[in-house]
Amino acid sequence: MILSLLNPVRVGPALFAAFLIFCVQCSAQVLPEFEYRDVTVIVKQADGKPVASASIYGFSPDLNLLWPRIDKYPGSDVLWHQSSLGKTGVDGSFKAKLPAGKWGFFAGSRLPDGAVLAVWSEFAPISPGKVILLAPAARKQWALSSFEHEALAARQMFFRASGFPAFVPIPGPAASELIRAQLSKGRFELWASGEAKDKQPAFVLSWGTLSDQTPDGPIAVPTKPSVVESSSGTATLSWFHLGDHGVEGTMSLASRQKAWFSPGQFILSYQRSIAAGYTADFVGQLYRLDQTQHLTLTFDGPLATGVDQHFLEPDQKGRIKLNARLYFVDRNGHVMKNLLTPAGKPAPLAAAVWVDGKRVAARPHKRGDVGQTSFYTDIGTNQPTTRPVWELAAVVGVFPQIRFLDSPDRRTTVSSATFKVELPKVLESRAEDFLSQMEYLARYMNTVAGRPRRTTPTLLRVEAGKGGASATHSGKYIRFGAGMWYFEQPTLRHSVAHELGHNYGFYHGGLHETIVELSRAGSGPQIGQQDVKWLFFDRMNGMRQNEKVGYEGSYPNIGLYLYCYSQKGEAFTRYLIANEYAVQKKLKAAGYSDAEITTALCTIAMKQDIGAICRAYGLAADPAKVAAAVRMAPAIK
């Protein structure tokens, strides 16, 4: 009936308009499919005792929504963070207020007797007041071993049941390879990590997919691992597995020590000694580890230097500002992010610049995303006749005064299949990693957008003193701040994906941001923009009508479009990619409002009337004009 009403020719314009007006009159009430309902999850162990402080989260694959709700992300442009996990109370309970839909819950804990608990529910519709019990259906006893059947003692274990987006970390027994586990019925994935012990290497290994039916006894890693080794020096190595949210941790790696890694893509960063008790954090890079690879890293030795500098346009008084980024790079090609004092605090660094023979003091940028070695100064009203030379004051016992020279022979161009960047030679390794990740992002955006970029190669322009990104709408280049080199996974940065989207012909708004989020998700579920999604459901429940959060404040209708995508998937985006901009231009010229155009487009793309949803969301659309707009827009083929 609803689908027939969507066709004004079939039922007549008057009846169609009357139907939409009726929807307006009813829209003051919360639509039942969005009404929040209170749910209680109780976690128990095999003997029926409640489990306090268990790590837990809920996920709705119908809505791509997570609980605990995320109203503000803990960091810059993350998809998942361990702080997103909730904790059960002393009675083992976990309370949630959720919109209707299928929900599943996953919990994990180390029990007082040393056993590991990993329990989960099936994805099922929830009703108001529902109580969901998470309790084990099986007890298992396994001994972890390597590919060569050597016993392994896990310091940390990571569990993810089928259908859930993130792994839950659970402390392992550490001193023993024996794992006693209490599990729900069904399949799950298992990773584990451990420190080097005696002659046993450290490890980050996947045991693949197991289940409550996996026999007790030894379980060996199914694939031969890659080897990562320190050739010299000691470091605390931080790692996370790309694409598996929650599989992350640290390990100590001393000189000549080895670590086993299951084949896959890992971001590896580290902290190591510099001199005189000072240490430094080095930015992570992506390593594609395979079974035949033996990766050697060096955690000592001198640091190479480089500089990016950028003149700003003169201000109203004609004064010129000069920004600079000073780089330290180690023998692995990793960029130093922070220099830390023996007390573990950021070391104070002082810089100056020589301009046409005159030394000018510089100040550090204070923005949080540009690190310690970003500086600026006012060089006056005269354009310099030679390239300025930057210097960094000595840090006693660590390094002497250092001059950073900038000349054509110290710069290079790095290219990948479809990207190109010009930069200091010292950053060549970092740029190769960066561009490989950009290619990864572009491949997913090609698929999501259903078309290739309009312009390749895309030129990346680096500007010192900035941390974000911008681009021409023609897609010819992306301008990004030199602070972007300091992000281990730049393609997760919203700004990077957003600016790349312009090269596909997207120009802000809900569709553009939906393409961005689907591309950032890669092969995983679309769990980004949780703050915007929860704002959408709050509005559906009559709350926060005038509030904006996250990127919704800059690019309207993101929450609405992400909801529609969760319901219809590619069918929703496919119609809009083909028609949205042409329809917007046509209807705008005919006098329709943005709200009426958006409601009409989403109604057609969803193949159902969503006028009531759009109005609850805050789009003031006249029903009769929406009906007329639907008639003017192309139908779905």
19 lies in some domain: yes
SS3 for 377? strand
Adjacent-strand bridge partners of 480:
462, 469
Kindly report, residue by residue over 596-629, the tens digit of the pLDDT.
999 999 999 999 999 999 999 999 999 999 999 9
According to the model, what pLDDT value does residue 4 have?
40
* CB distance 524 to 165 below 8 Å: yes
Which value, in Å, is the radius of gyration of the alpha carbons in the chain?
A: 28
275 lies in some domain: yes
> Quick one: what percent of the chain has pLDDT higher than 70?
93
pLDDT above 90 (res 217): yes
Adjacent-strand bridge partners of 377:
322
* CB distance 58 to 105 below 8 Å: yes
Among 390, 408, 426, the domain-final residue is 408
- Shared-domain flag, residues 517 and 441: yes
pLDDT above 90 (res 272): yes
- Shared-domain flag, residues 45 and 97: yes
Kindly report, residue by residue over 357-376, the tens digit of the pLDDT.
999 999 998 765 567 899 99
Query: Among positive and negative, which fits the CA dihedral 476, 520, 270, 363?
Result: positive
* CB distance 372 to 366 below 8 Å: no
Structural domain of 101: 34-136
CATH number at residue 321: 2.60.40
- Shared-domain flag, residues 252 and 290: yes
* CB distance 307 to 326 below 8 Å: yes
- Shared-domain flag, residues 149 and 294: yes
| pTM for the whole structure | 0.90
Kindly report, residue by residue over 148-202, the tens digit of the pLDDT.
999 999 999 999 999 999 999 999 886 778 899 999 999 999 999 999 988 889 9
- Shared-domain flag, residues 105 and 150: no
| Sheet (strand 374-380) strand order | 304-311, 320-329, 374-380, 363-364
User: What's the pLDDT band for 14 if we cut at 50, 70, 90?
Assistant: very low
SS3 for 244? coil
Bin 126: left if φ > 0, else alpha if -120 < ψ < 50, else beta: beta
475 lies in some domain: yes
The DSSP code for 215 is P
Distances (CA, A) of 282 to 272, 527, 559: 8, 28, 36
Kindly provide the b/e burial profile for residues 461-477, where b requires at least 16 CB atoms within 10 angstroms of the residue's own CB: ebbbbbbbbbbeeebeb
Kindly report, residue by residue over 428-467, the tens digit of the pLDDT.
999 999 999 999 999 999 999 999 998 899 999 998 987 6
According to the model, what pLDDT value does residue 22 have?
43
96 lies in some domain: yes
Write out the H or E segment, with its range, that includes residue 187: strand 187-194
359 lies in some domain: yes
According to the model, what pLDDT value does residue 472 have?
67
User: What's the pLDDT band for 76 if we cut at 50, 70, 90?
Assistant: low
Six token digits for residue 112: 């007082």
Q: Could you give the CA distance from residue 600 to residue 457 in angstroms, rounded to a whole number?
A: 37
What are all long-range contacts of 577-581, with beta carbons under 8 Å and residues at least 24 apart? 577/449, 577/450, 577/511, 577/515, 579/633, 579/634, 580/511, 581/505, 581/507
According to the model, what pLDDT value does residue 19 have?
44
Six token digits for residue 501: 């989207």
CB count in 10 Å sphere of residue 449: 20
Among 301, 323, 355, the domain-final residue is 301
According to the model, what pLDDT value does residue 84 have?
87
- The residue type at 352: A
Q: Could you give the CA distance from residue 100 to residue 33 in angstroms, rounded to a whole number?
A: 6
Q: Which of 492, 496, 498 is nearest to 514 (CA)?
A: 498
130 lies in some domain: yes
User: What's the pLDDT band for 26 if we cut at 50, 70, 90?
Assistant: very low
637 lies in some domain: no
* CB distance 228 to 196 below 8 Å: no
pLDDT above 70 (res 579): yes
Q: How many domains is the chain built from?
A: 5
174 lies in some domain: yes
- Shared-domain flag, residues 82 and 217: no
CATH number at residue 428: 3.30.2010
Among 276, 301, 326, the domain-final residue is 301
Six token digits for residue 511: 């569709």
Six token digits for residue 181: 């586990």
CB count in 10 Å sphere of residue 630: 22
- Shared-domain flag, residues 161 and 273: yes
Give the strand pairing for 86-87 and 55-60: antiparallel
Write out the H or E segment, with its range, that includes residue 595: helix 594-606
Burial of 587 (0-12, 13-18, 19+ CB in 10 A): buried
- Shared-domain flag, residues 544 and 472: no
- Shared-domain flag, residues 172 and 285: yes
Q: Could you give the CA distance from residue 327 to residue 343 in angstroms, rounded to a whole number?
A: 23
CATH number at residue 41: 2.60.40.10
Six token digits for residue 91: 């009675």
- Shared-domain flag, residues 151 and 231: yes
According to the model, what pLDDT value does residue 42 have?
98
- Shared-domain flag, residues 365 and 507: no
- Shared-domain flag, residues 515 and 381: no
